[in-house]
Amino acid sequence: MDASLNGKVAVVTGAGSGIGKAAAIMLAEKGVQVGLFDMDASAVEKTAAEIKTAGGAAIAAKVDVADSMQLQQAYMQVLKKFGQLDIVFANAGINGTLSPIEHLPEEDWDKTLGTNAKGTFLTVKFAIPYMKSNGGSIIITSSINGNRTFSGFGMSAYSASKAAETAFGKMAALELSAYRIRVNVICPGGIETNIEKRTKKDEEHLAEVTIPKIFPKGQHPLKGEPGKPEDVASIVCFLASDASGHMSGSVLYADGAETLL
């Protein structure tokens, strides 16, 4: 158990599955009390149940991070239950619709940017009043897409939202430094999650813009396969702890050297 994390309180968005779930469980194992936010009520309750069964402390809330009212109410539940807020992992996000720009519906662009970019903004915005007295750590999940790679054909909205999250994280790091709130960004590469199941693909038109990519020996050099959610969760724990106490405004890539090809 990390002594610098024991007794802290964290909020994790997108905690019902994938990276968010893995991070919530790992933080709880280190003594952190966790508030779990996710749009899938059943999934986030299961995460909370796993943590409680293992002896940890958790509270779950059904939250759409693009909805100000839902977010504010969920934060108040966490503060009522645990009395403080030290760590925020702004992780919730969607791939949205994969489509060429020409054919991408305006409402699909708005939904992706709304969930990813606006959702991250709101998650940070509503956390600040609870963190500014004692400081803390905010961690944002961005992506290699929009930062190091731009070959996710049909992902213009997703890549734009992830580039926005990275820039926002750097702006927030400087602005919130006066409150001793650190803000860092993680850019995962290929990670085994279920986000693809909720991804809509315009297969008919994607073929029009796709450029063939050929990689030597596959696209995951370090391990030969995509990363696990726990690979990112361990970075979240590091950024939440005192071990990264002098880091703010940093962007960490968790891609197994994928983007160096």
Of 160, 158, 164, which is closest to residue 140 (Cα–Cα)? 164
What confidence tier does 177 reach under pLDDT thresholds 50, 70, 90?
very high
- Helix, strand, coil proportions of the chain in percent (round to 5)? 45, 20, 35
Residue 167: burial class (beta carbons within 10 Å; 0-12, 13-18, 19+): middle
Query: Does pLDDT of 204 surpass 90?
Result: no
Question: Domain map of the chain by residue range?
Answer: 9-254
Rounded Cα distance, 177 and 239, in Å: 15
* pLDDT above 90 (res 192): no
Active site residues: 158
* Whether CATH 2.40.50.100 fits 9-254: no
Residue 214 pLDDT grade (very low, low, confident, very high; cuts 50, 70, 90): low
User: How is residue 256 written in tokens?
Assistant: 């197994």
The rounded distance, in Å, linking the Cα atoms of 70 and 18 is 22
